[in-house]
Structure 1
Amino acid sequence: MELKTVWSGGIPTFYPTMDQFKDFAKFIESVDKYGMETGIIKVVPPKEWVDSQPPLDETVKSIKIKNPIMQDVNGTGGLYKLHNIEKQRTYNIASWRQVCEEAENQPPAKRGQARKVTKKAKRSKINDDGDQFSGFDYRFDAQEFTPERCEELERIYWKSLTYSSPMYGADMPGSLFEDDCKVWNVAHLDNILNNLRVNIPGVNTAYLYCGMWKSTFAWHLEDMDLYSINYIHFGAPKYWYSISQQDRHKFYNLMKEMWPQEHSRCKEFLRHKTFHASPALLAQHGIKVNRTIHYQNEFMITFPYGYHSGFNFGYNVAESVNFATEAWLPFGRESKKCRCISDSVGIDVDQLIRWMKGDDALPLTPPHSNDEKDSEQGSEQEPRAKRRKVASRPRKQKQQQQQQQQKQQQQQPVFSSTQYPQCQLCPNPGDWDMVKSRTGKYAHRQCARLIPETSLSSQDRLVGLENVPKARTVLRCLQCGLTKGACVQCSEPKCVRAYHATCVETAGMLQIPLPGPRDHFEFLCRFHRPKRPPPQVVEKDLHSISWAYSLLPGEIVQGQLDGSDIFAGRVVENRLSEGMVLLQLAGSDDTIELEWKWLRSPHCLNINDAHIQRLIKSSAHAVKTKSHVAQSRKLPSPDSNPVQLSFKPVDPVNSTVDGDWVVEALGYDPQVLEYCEPLKYMYYLPQKSSLVTARYLAEP
């Protein structure tokens, strides 16, 4: 198929004839090689197809923009993080356009011209829609958005990205195409996802998107690395960016370096659609960004492994959906799914292939994910009731029941929550992100990162499990009280407190990341970690406030109020306008509102490099036992004059003290003891000590 093609900004634009255009599957097959190089392509449909589309005067009245998101953008220097906050209001398309044309929601006017001024949209009841649509015309004249004008607005967009919070009516189920439209109907595309036995919104059923000036979709890949198509029915254009597939690894590694904490929590963090980077920043690191302008009545198509992002120039309505061809099947098998977002999509490719072949029989084994690629895929089956034998039951009735049961099982979704295996490094339930070793054993990603002997390979596999010493596996976690798995210990020389990697947050332990080629940490328990800075200091610390501002729902954080122990909780909501978070406390269903200043920020630690170096020198990742600590504290010689010292024990369960060892000299002026030197003045009493409290004696 020879297509008229125009290249601009590194992206091809195709101008097919009606004969070339009418067969969607064949057209995608013919342009696939281009899309798999540039990430995205643009398709301008033939004029006769555009003219065949009916007017939407009545159809647009059904659009209800419920709870649009307000996009707060935080960042600087070309690196940004988006925070989507639902606005508790519903708009129809008439009131949405009125909001888009308010002065603060319009792009800057051309030099020498003034912005159009409109009155702010008033809240209206549903039965007032008739008045709002009186004289309303959904059509939009986009002639002013010439390529030169769009380039000017692109520069303004990046300069003012953080200055206002646009709204975006995103991910709204629906379609503006008529059912009798058989050619390139976004809601009814000819593709293999039609074989799915369940509707997945946005994947095989269409979504509508209502944009305004500066509303943004950040860098991301499609779920399951599927294809996607986007059509603007009417309105202002969109500006699209893409990364060529040959640069995708370079781009991912750069974003991983820019967002190390987010990457450590979720390897698929770029599927969150919240991390953004400017083309200028990417160019500084040798990554070419392709770009194009997407006008109304045009299609954009994204391809597997094609990172893309963009923004809207103003009021518009677009329609989008995912699709797949047979060429996608190998990509689907290898695709990895984000496990930290509840609505992340997974597809059982093997089951889909069976359905494509018309095989309605159930697989011999329950559907499951593709090895280590995605343990969350598979068919979820409801628990069966325990059967009782009935002697008089006819055989025919039994067969009918089995067929009915089989039919119900086949109709179960092919995306589901995971049945997690048991972690080898802790006893906690497997509702965290899991990784797998080559020997088929699993561990939480958190455990693999924090246990010193284990790590993650470049293929995201668990390695080093066999290197965990037995001494580490017999340590008792002071948080859950169990010895199963392996624990990390406080890095203070004399402290033997130990916790599972999934217990460190709730135990109030501080994790200190160290530089190096792999994840490497030192730890301080809540009795040896630095004291919390005063709230006034935290409020003035820009790094801490920026960190708090960027918290997303689902993240685990630590907090501490005046006179209380350190506690942990999961972020339910980050209320940016109020400077506080809503936390669900660990181990309970209780939620509390906590101001940012009471969070234990990882950027405001009151700890210096000398302290860290002392911890590294003292711990060296060796497992400390009571006997080891006692051995290091014996008197050097009988001739030395020991200083009598008393240790003030601290109860880690009931006490609220947040400090260090308390040392007191008896009988004469106190002496300054250097912590970098090992203490040699006390005898350890193992019979009178416990896991929590250590007892000492000045004389043997």
Structure 2
Amino acid sequence: MESQINSVEVPIFWPSLEQFANFGNFIKWLEAQDLSFAKVIPPPEWEPKSKIIPGEFMLENVYSQRHDKLQHGGYEIINTKLDPMTYSHYVQLATANECEINEDKFWENVASKSSSNLYAIDNDISLFGDDVSLWNLSKLTKTHSNIHGTNTTMNIAEGIQRPFSYFAVGSSCFGAHIEDGNLNSINILHRGAPKLWYFIRQDQNKKFEQLTKKMSKNIDCDLYVRHKTILPSPSVLDAQKIGFSRVLQNAGEIIISFSGGYHFGFSLGTNEAESVNFGSERWLRFLMTSKYAHAPTREMNNTLTSDGSPESSMISVRSFPVRYVKPIMIRSLH
């Protein structure tokens, strides 16, 4: 199942603390590289304190996940919403069902429909401590001006201008999607087991959409993939010669997806992450071409999202160190 033919190199960045501290400059430099996604390993001096979540905090969006086979080698995530539960209750359930997996095992379980797991999504709480300033996703709208470079008062929307947190166990997964409104997104894995991401090369988007439409049981929706429940296996992407990348995200690392980039993935064990959306000058070009699936509401489609927030001014460009590594392959995950 190891994929080599259509895999592309994964950009990984190691900014200095000075470079990392200027969010606007850093993002603009990344966008100037015309990237679809990037992995950022923060400088060692950045040690953000995580918030201790109260045990009584209510998780409103806890799902039990299983998988169904689709046509043409695809799978669909079937999300069954559970009753709201406290964070402490969720931790007990997650601990009782704790398991660590690798890529081979995940796709074997999906294909055999033998896996059933929990995923608590879209939780309206930040995992950053209140004293954290750099890259605190709950404060980006307060510390950065908007895309036009002027400070404005904005209505803060959950999941669009305020971060959501996600609590996963081994095999918790999110279907292929582009962010709402083609926004950029930031995902920080605060603690726990790694998360494996798949990113579709943007020049392959049309081909990918045609494939997922064939997979879909909903023939009335041209962009059913935007419902965020389809899992296309790497072997199928290879067979269809659709270029993609694997990105392994470890605790403390940041994944940034840029406008128009399809992505999906799963957790290799129990972890806690946080994500937020943001706009930029480059994003405006994609905003005009945003497409939406039929009936795109979260509740109607049991959507799993990586939502979030702020618009930032993108100013002068600096030079940042960058290295490229080969995509993470199956055997490195065992």
TM-score, structure 2 as length reference? 0.79
Distance 1:177 1:105, change over 3 A: closer
CA contact (8 A) 2:124 2:165 kept: yes
Aligned residue identity for 1:21: F
Output the amino acid matched with 1:87. Answer: L
Aligned-partner residue type, residue 202 of structure 1: G
Displacement of 1:333 after TM fit?
1.8
Q: Distance in 1 between matches of 2:157 and 2:73?
A: 35
Equivalence for 2:287: 332
2:126–2:163: 8 Å Cα contact kept in structure 1?
yes
- Kept after mapping to 2: 8 A contact 1:238/1:294: yes
Q: Which is bigger in relative contact order (C-alpha 8 A, separation at least 6)? A: 2
Structure 1 pair 325–331 and aligned structure 2 pair: CA distance change class (3 A): same
Q: Residues 181-580 of structure 1: matches in 2 within 5 Å?
A: 181-189=132-140, 190=144, 192=146, 195=152, 197-259=154-216, 261-262=217-218, 264-342=219-297
* Separation in 1, partners of 2:108, 2:73: 9
Aligned to 1:230, the other structure's residue is in SS state: strand
Distance 1:292 1:26 in 2: 24
Equivalence for 2:14? 15
Q: Tell me the equivalent position of 2:321.
A: none
2:123 is aligned with 1:172 = yes
Q: For residue 306 of structure 1, report the CA deviation from its aligned partner.
A: 0.6
SS at match of 1:241: strand
Contact 1:157 1:214 in 2 (8 A): yes
Deviation digits for residues 480-520 of structure 1, max 9, x if unmatched?
xxxxxxxxxxxxxxxxxxxxxxxxxxxxxxxxxxxxxxxxx
Task: Compute the displacement of 1:313 (Å).
Answer: 1.2
The amino acid across from 2:288 in the alignment is R
Task: Tell me, in whole angstroms, the C-alpha distance in 2 between the residues paired with 1:198 and 1:312.
Answer: 33
Cα separation, partners in 2 of 1:289 and 1:176, compared to 1, 3 Å = same
> Which of 54, 58, 74 pairs up with 2:49?
54
Aligned length: 287
Question: Which residue among 63, 73, 88 is the counterpart of 2:67?
Answer: 73
C-alpha separation in 1, matches of 2:32 and 2:241: 24
Q: CA deviation at 1:343?
A: 5.1
- Name the residue aligned to 2:3: none
Q: Which amino acid aligns with 2:210?
A: N
Which letter does structure 1 place at the counterpart of 2:119?
A: Y
RMSD between aligned residues? 2.5
Deviation, 1:188, is: 2.0
In 1, the alpha carbon distance for the partners of 2:166 and 2:67 equals 19
Shift of 1:61: 4.1
- In structure 2, the residue matched to 1:83 is 78
CA distance in 1, matches of 2:26, 2:169: 31
Q: Distance in 2 between matches of 1:18 and 1:213?
A: 32
Q: Secondary structure at the match of 1:29?
A: helix
Going from structure 1 to structure 2, the CA distance change for 1:20 and 1:69 (only over 3 Å counts) comes to same
Counterpart residue number, 1:524: none
1:198 positional shift: 2.3
Q: 1:327 to 1:67 in 2, by over 3 A?
A: closer
Structure 2 contact 223–293 (Cα < 8 Å) conserved: yes
| CA spacing shift, 1:47–1:63, aligned 2, 3 Å | farther
Equivalent position amino acid for 2:106 in 1? Y
In structure 2, the gaps of 5 or more residues are 1-6, 300-310, 314-334
- Cα distance, 1:304 vs structure 2: 0.9
Cα distance, 1:40 vs structure 2: 1.7
Cα offset, 1:326, TM superposition: 1.6
The separation in 1 between residues aligned to 2:58 and 2:8, in whole angstroms, is 35
1:106 counterpart (88, 99, 103): 99
CA distance in 2, matches of 1:63, 1:91: 5
- TM-score, scaled relative to structure 1: 0.39
SS for the counterpart of 1:281 is helix
Paired residues of 1:191 and 1:323 also in contact (CA < 8 A): no
Indicate if the aligned counterparts of 1:9 and 1:292 stay in contact, CA closer than 8 A: no
d(CA) in 1 for partners of 2:9, 2:190 = 25
What is the match of residue 24 of structure 1? 23
Aligned equivalents of 1:12, 1:306: Cα separation in 2: 14
Residues in 1 aligned to 2:145 and 2:55: alpha-carbon distance in whole angstroms: 30
2:61/2:121 contact within 8 Å kept:
no
Q: Is the 2:50–2:190 Cα contact (8 Å) retained in structure 1?
A: no
Q: 1:333 to 1:183 in 2, by over 3 A?
A: same
CA apart distance, 1:302: 0.5
Alpha-carbon shift at residue 258 of structure 1 (Å): 2.5
Partner of 2:29, secondary structure, is: helix
Measured against aligned partners, the alpha-carbon deviations of 1:55-109 in whole angstroms (never above 9, x if no partner) come to 54x445464323401112101674101121111140324x43332232x54136x
Report the Cα distance in structure 2 between the residues aligned to 1:9 and 1:298, rounded to whole angstroms.
Answer: 20
**Cα shift readout 1:287-342 (whole Å, capped 9, x = no counterpart):** 12200110111111011111000001111111101001122112112212334123
